Amino acid sequence: MADKTEKLLSVLKLQPVVPVLIIDDAATAVPLARALVAGGLKAIEITLRTPAALDAIRLVANEVEGAVAGAGTILNAAQFDQAVEAGSQFIVSPGTTQELLDAASASSVPLLPGAATASEVMALREEGYQVLKFFPAEQAGGASYLKALSSPLAGTLFCPTGGISLANARDYLSLPNVICVGGSWVAPKELVAKGDWAGITKLAAEAAGLKG
């Protein structure tokens, strides 16, 4: 477990913001990922919310130099295995089930499991997890809630995702228990639709420059 924790930390420490992408057309995956990498965002989470997701992960993993492709919205063991087979180097889930934990323990690819309450965090700590996704961040209580967890649950690091934007990202990144944040604002649908990759690189560079 320690090895997988270190592997996950090495990915999440690459940048302050991990792009969370919903890709409708796999043909946009490579230019989009290249634009994000050019702006300094190498770790990229592609969510399994569309039929194109697995193909998009495969393309990014195989064709985008410097990119670290990950899969998000993983809900069960079958999706976990499919995402790993497609080339995912890290797996992200909105919550956790025993089935998902079992799949993760059998794999060398690290899991960033989702938690929203102190009890969920404690249960995952018992399973050996030190790095968690806090989701949905804004709806579950925001930065002030996460700050309140930092003392009683010291030693646990979070990647908050959900409702985070350029406007509030620093509120999270300034917390001692936050390693990075996840956000979709760096790849707006309208820019992807227009193929405005330079615009996305600019947003990525802005996000990459965020500090706590």
Evaluate the CA torsion angle 9, 39, 183, 180 in order and state its sign.
Answer: positive
pLDDT digits (tens, 9 = 90+) for 89-134: 999 999 999 999 999 999 999 999 999 999 999 999 999 999 999 9
CATH H-level superfamily of 2-208: Aldolase class I (3.20.20.70)
Q: CA of 17: how far to CAs of 36, 67, 166, in Å?
A: 11, 14, 10
pLDDT for position 103: 98
Could you tell me the pLDDT band of residue 71, with boundaries at 50, 70 and 90?
Answer: very high
**In three state form, how does the secondary structure of the chain look?**
CHHHHHHHHHHHCCCCEEEEECCCCHHHHHHHHHHHHHCCCCEEEEECCCCCHHHHHHHHHHHCCCCEEEEECCCCHHHHHHHHHHCCCEEECCCCCHHHHHHHHCCCCCEECEECCHHHHHHHHHCCCCEEEECCCCCCCHHHHHHHHCCCCCCCEEEEECCCCCCCHHHHHCCCCECCEEECCCCCHHHHHHCCHHHHHHHHHHHHCCCC
User: Which phi-psi region, left, alpha or beta, contains residue 73 (left: φ > 0; alpha: ψ -120 to 50)?
Assistant: left
Could you tell me the pLDDT band of residue 212, with boundaries at 50, 70 and 90?
Answer: low
Q: Tell me which amino acid residue 87 is.
A: G
pTM score, two decimals? 0.97
Q: Considering only the C-alpha atoms of the chain, give the largest distance between any 2 of them, rounded to a whole number of Å.
A: 47
pLDDT for position 117: 97
Could you tell me the pLDDT band of residue 187, with boundaries at 50, 70 and 90?
Answer: very high
Catalytic residue among 7, 42, 45, 190: 45
Catalytic residue among 133, 138, 194, 211: 133
pLDDT digits (tens, 9 = 90+) for 42-63: 999 999 999 999 999 999 999 9
- Active-site annotation holds for 127: no
- Active-site annotation holds for 45: yes
**Beta pairing partners, 68:** 43
Cβ contacts of 72 within 8 Å, gap of 6 or more: 20, 45, 46, 47, 48, 92, 93, 182
Phi and psi at 188, nearest 5°, equal: -60, 140
The span from the first CA to the last CA of the chain, in angstroms, equals 28
pLDDT digits (tens, 9 = 90+) for 135-175: 999 999 999 999 999 999 999 999 999 999 999 999 999 99
For the chain, domain boundaries:
2-208
**Rg of the chain, C-alpha, whole Å:** 16
